[in-house]
Chains A and B, each alone.
Chain A
Amino acid sequence: MTDATDIPGRKPDGAWAHLLHVLRENPVTMLSFGLFAFFLLQAFFGALIVPHDPLATNAANALQPPDWTHWFGTDSLGRDVFSRVVVATRLDLMISVLAVAISFAVGSVLGAVAGYWGGWIDAALNRVLDTIMAFPLFVLAMGIVAALGNSIENIIYATALINIPFYARLVRAEVNIRREAGFALAARLSGNSHFRTLAFHIFPNALPPMMVQVSLNMGWAILNAAGLSFIGLGVRPPTPEWGIMVAEGANYIISGHWWVALFPGLWLMLAVFTFNLMGDGLRDLVDPRRRT
């Protein structure tokens, strides 16, 4: 209390310095951000750097174990597993990022409105969310994709919908406890409308716990998208996608061709792992109390 606050002229760190501080402070955060950068690289440049065409079939070279030309081996049609795993990153990340973005936005608006105004809006929203959550979420997603049609957009919508309740409830709780906080009343006295008070004063304070939720959700969303593809919904072959690849490879595990399913499964696991680890780091990044 006495040491830091009494040094005049010490400015708070900039965004980059703060990022570096957060990374340096926690090796787990450093590892997760490193892995995230690794996946981002694959998503952006994967198609340009892979050694083989991920769609090119070669029946003569089918089901070859890993070697120096095909690092992860080849699948039943002779396609290079490594190239397909790397190229699939973009699609899988895109599905999960978009799905999480939609559920973040929709869930925030619904939750903030319910938490701030309360009353019948709150009661109605809660019942709707309870209804969504009463379904087994994966089955619900399957139903949505089956009903709306088998396309990538619909996978995104289905994944977004089943995640909305988590965001809405979190934001509702965070907004609700701050509705009567001194700074919210002070914002009203300063001439802010209810909308401005909610959007610019109260809601930003819900961001740190939201970031943890975002990061966990990214992992779930990837699993969900891969799961839907695994059972044959959404992404269609021959498009490279981790879920489909695991599904295709599963047929060959019994015959000893382990690499076809293992590597896409490993990437899937690593991606989920990365996002789960990133949560705390993201929270520290958006929490001003960490900027000391």
Chain B
Amino acid sequence: MLSVTNLSVSFRTRRGEVNAVRGISFDLGRGETLGIVGESGSGKSVTSYALLRILDAGGTIRAGDVTYGGVDLRAASERDMRDIRGREISMIFQNPRAALNPIRKVGHQIEDVLRQHGRATRQDARAKAIKALADVRINDPAARYDAYPFELSGGMCQRIVIAIALACDPKLLIADEPTTGLDITTQKTVMDLSRDLIRARGMSSILITHDLGLAAEYCDRLAVMKDGEIVETGIAAAVFAAPQHPYTARLVDATPRPGLGLRDLLPAKARTPLPGHAPGERTLVQVRDLVKTYPGKSGPVHAVKGISFTIREGQSVGLVGESGCGKSTTSSILVRLLDRTSGDILFEGVDIADIPAERFVRDKRRSQIQMVFQDATDSLNPRHSARQTIADPILRMSDLRGARLTARIEELATLCGLPLPLLDRFPHQLSGGQKARVGIARAIALDPKFLILDEPTAALDVSIQAVVLNLLADLRARLGMTYLFVSHDLNVVRLLCDHVIVMQGGEIVEQGPTAQVMDTPSHPYTRNLLAAAPRPPVLAAPMTDQPAAQ
């Protein structure tokens, strides 16, 4: 149905021509789902834009053929392409909120597409739009017709986007990272929904994602892309279970899943023994009846509703939950950036909750409690070089200066695996993984006892996530730090943490040793979370026993 041969796409940039896609070929049959998998910069999104001829300015298709149902898409006129987009091939994008017009009712946005392609008249557009909403299983579609995008959750918005994409019964749906940024249970709902709809209508689809596990679960075939080339194609289960190309093998290894250890995520060559990890007996942090209430327009908002837990010295505790569960509020309060409404936080037996966040900056315990932020790009000052960034806490909170300061910065960089020449780079000159290392080096600059990690790998590619997680495990062993690891990804938490706290709606619904919570969850919410994680078709312990088989 869709056939791509030898497609090449290049972009003109200030540094000259950049080849984003270098001669890729693939076929897509009727009713088939193809997953294009790759890390950032692999050219997977550019490929899909090229198919629909919606490349950014400066991008051109250099060579190759794209045939869809006998029509040459490269040669088609812009007018024909407008007809094809939406009616024959439609696309859903990564950020559903950005894809919807914020100031128009969602119902009207569906009508727009229907009428644009002559699928509805003024009289029956409303009824058809409501039916489209019902098709994507939105409750009370007649009422939702009048909703604005900001009134809907992220998952709802993505369902609206799917409704718009499917409104004109296209034959092919291209989904570009459709669930990135959504909660794991929402991801499962959205993916299940789109799979069911695609099957029911006999459509073909292309799923573009960085998540090999997700692609393996929902696609028939996979194409793995690296640096603009397809390095491997095959049946999804086969690619995952027995990758042929070394890059695919690395990706498969780096995808966290049950049954794997931290070191298993790394390429076989880099697997050194994991340092031992034994939490101590002394209590480092004790949280008692912590409550945070925000004033809201319609009454107070209870973000955290009286939670209590204890973290022992050297322990790594995972704080898990979906967006809005209060885990970020809790971590902001613990790191003393935010004041609690009531409750105690005992740090080494002394209550620090009474010291206002304003004044905690000058407290001597400031250097003891530090944090690694979620978005490495956002958390680095764009005007400071890596060296200045790492030096900042040392300058403010210790009296190291001159040569000893330089030595300390270089020691930290080495500890975090950041090459010394990169210290004089600005954040925009560093890659995602390098920025994450700078953020970690800054956080551990003053040897904190308690480090809060706020989804430190959420914005990273899986292979870089694997390296950063291992770095964190090494640092824990060398420096004896205690971690509070905030995450929505249970598979990642399982790798790093000894103890797990599951939060929902501002309350702790379950906590206990990692193995116990993961293997025999007692609360239905925990079971839901575990069930929602992508379940790639794979044997129990695949690569660990025969690492060099391929």
Q: Which residues of A contact B (CB under 8 A)?
A: 1-6, 8-12, 181-183, 185-194, 196, 201, 204-205, 288-289, 291-292
Closest CB of chain A to B353's CB: distance in Å? 17
Q: Which residues of A contact B523 (CB under 8 A)?
A: none
Give chain B interface residues in 396-445, CB to chain A under 8 Å.
Answer: 396-397, 419, 421-422, 424-426, 428-431, 434, 439, 442-443
The residue of chain A having its C-beta at the shortest distance from the C-beta of B360 within the complex is A188
The residue of chain A having its C-beta at the shortest distance from the C-beta of B366 within the complex is A191
Q: Which residues of A contact B392 (CB under 8 A)?
A: 187, 190, 192
Closest CB of chain B to A80's CB: distance in Å? 49
Q: Which residues of B contact A182 (CB under 8 A)?
A: 373-375, 378-380
Contacts A8-B419, A9-B421, A12-B425: A189 and B366 contacting too (C-beta < 8 A)?
yes
Expressed in whole angstroms, the Cα–Cα distance for A229 and B424 within the complex equals 50
Q: Which residues of A contact B439 (CB under 8 A)?
A: 186
B9 within 8 A of A: no
Expressed in whole angstroms, the Cα–Cα distance for A5 and B41 within the complex equals 13
Give chain B interface residues in 40-65, CB to chain A under 8 Å.
Answer: 40-41
Contacts A1-B41, A8-B419: A189 and B335 contacting too (C-beta < 8 A)?
yes
In the complex, the answer to whether B379 meets A183 with C-beta atoms within 8 Å is yes
Expressed in whole angstroms, the Cα–Cα distance for A288 and B388 within the complex equals 14
B23 within 8 A of A: no
Q: Which residues of B contact A (CB under 8 A)?
A: 15, 40-41, 227, 335, 337, 358, 361-362, 366-367, 370-371, 373-375, 378-385, 392-393, 396-397, 419, 421-422, 424-426, 428-431, 434, 439, 442-443
Identify the 7 closest CB pairs spanning chains A and B, nearest first.
Answer: A182-B379, A191-B396, A190-B393, A182-B378, A191-B397, A183-B381, A9-B421
Expressed in whole angstroms, the Cα–Cα distance for A66 and B383 within the complex equals 52
Contact of B382 among A5, A194, A288 (CB under 8 A): A288
Q: Which residues of A contact B382 (CB under 8 A)?
A: 183, 205, 288-289
In the complex, the answer to whether A3 meets B396 with C-beta atoms within 8 Å is no
Expressed in whole angstroms, the Cα–Cα distance for A186 and B422 within the complex equals 20
In the complex, the answer to whether B426 meets A12 with C-beta atoms within 8 Å is yes
Expressed in whole angstroms, the Cα–Cα distance for A181 and B371 within the complex equals 14
Closest CB of chain A to B371's CB: distance in Å? 6
With most chain A CB atoms within 10 A of its CB, the pick from B40, B361, B378, B383 is: B383
Q: Which residues of B contact A1 (CB under 8 A)?
A: 40-41, 431
* Interface SS of B by simple majority: loop
Expressed in whole angstroms, the Cα–Cα distance for A193 and B424 within the complex equals 25
Contacts A186-B442, A205-B383: A8 and B396 contacting too (C-beta < 8 A)?
no
In the complex, the answer to whether A185 meets B397 with C-beta atoms within 8 Å is no
Q: Which residues of A contact B383 (CB under 8 A)?
A: 204-205, 288
The residue of chain B having its C-beta at the shortest distance from the C-beta of A184 within the complex is B381
Expressed in whole angstroms, the Cα–Cα distance for A205 and B375 within the complex equals 18
Expressed in whole angstroms, the Cα–Cα distance for A194 and B396 within the complex equals 13
Contacts A4-B15, A12-B426, A205-B383: A192 and B421 contacting too (C-beta < 8 A)?
no
Contacts A192-B392, A201-B381: A185 and B41 contacting too (C-beta < 8 A)?
no
Expressed in whole angstroms, the Cα–Cα distance for A182 and B337 within the complex equals 12
Expressed in whole angstroms, the Cα–Cα distance for A288 and B425 within the complex equals 10
In the complex, the answer to whether B371 meets A189 with C-beta atoms within 8 Å is yes
Closest CB of chain B to A179's CB: distance in Å? 12
In the complex, the answer to whether B426 meets A189 with C-beta atoms within 8 Å is no
In the complex, the answer to whether A289 meets B428 with C-beta atoms within 8 Å is yes
Q: Which residues of A contact B430 (CB under 8 A)?
A: 5
Can you list 10 A-B pairs, Cβ within 8 angstroms, ordered by A? A2-B227, A12-B426, A183-B378, A183-B380, A183-B381, A185-B337, A186-B379, A186-B442, A189-B393, A191-B366
7 extra interface residue pairs, beta carbon distance < 8 Å, beyond A182-B378, A192-B396, A193-B361: A1-B40, A182-B380, A189-B337, A189-B370, A194-B358, A201-B384, A205-B381
In the complex, the answer to whether B361 meets A181 with C-beta atoms within 8 Å is no
Q: Which residues of B contact A196 (CB under 8 A)?
A: 396
Closest CB of chain A to B204's CB: distance in Å? 31
Closest CB of chain A to B223's CB: distance in Å? 20
Closest CB of chain A to B359's CB: distance in Å? 10
Q: Which residues of A contact B358 (CB under 8 A)?
A: 194
Expressed in whole angstroms, the Cα–Cα distance for A192 and B358 within the complex equals 11
Q: Which residues of B contact A204 (CB under 8 A)?
A: 383
In the complex, the answer to whether B337 meets A181 with C-beta atoms within 8 Å is no
Closest CB of chain A to B208's CB: distance in Å? 18
Contacts A182-B373, A205-B381, A205-B383: A188 and B337 contacting too (C-beta < 8 A)?
yes
Closest CB of chain B to A9's CB: distance in Å? 4
With most chain B CB atoms within 10 A of its CB, the pick from A4, A185, A186, A187 is: A186
Expressed in whole angstroms, the Cα–Cα distance for A2 and B430 within the complex equals 10
Closest CB of chain A to B445's CB: distance in Å? 8
Closest CB of chain B to A146's CB: distance in Å? 43
Contact of A3 among B15, B378, B443 (CB under 8 A): B15
Q: Which residues of B contact A5 (CB under 8 A)?
A: 425, 429-431, 434
The residue of chain A having its C-beta at the shortest distance from the C-beta of B369 within the complex is A189
Expressed in whole angstroms, the Cα–Cα distance for A12 and B386 within the complex equals 12
With most chain B CB atoms within 10 A of its CB, the pick from A2, A6, A182, A192 is: A182
In the complex, the answer to whether B429 meets A186 with C-beta atoms within 8 Å is no
In the complex, the answer to whether A185 meets B373 with C-beta atoms within 8 Å is yes
Expressed in whole angstroms, the Cα–Cα distance for A8 and B419 within the complex equals 8
Expressed in whole angstroms, the Cα–Cα distance for A284 and B330 within the complex equals 41
Closest CB of chain A to B426's CB: distance in Å? 5
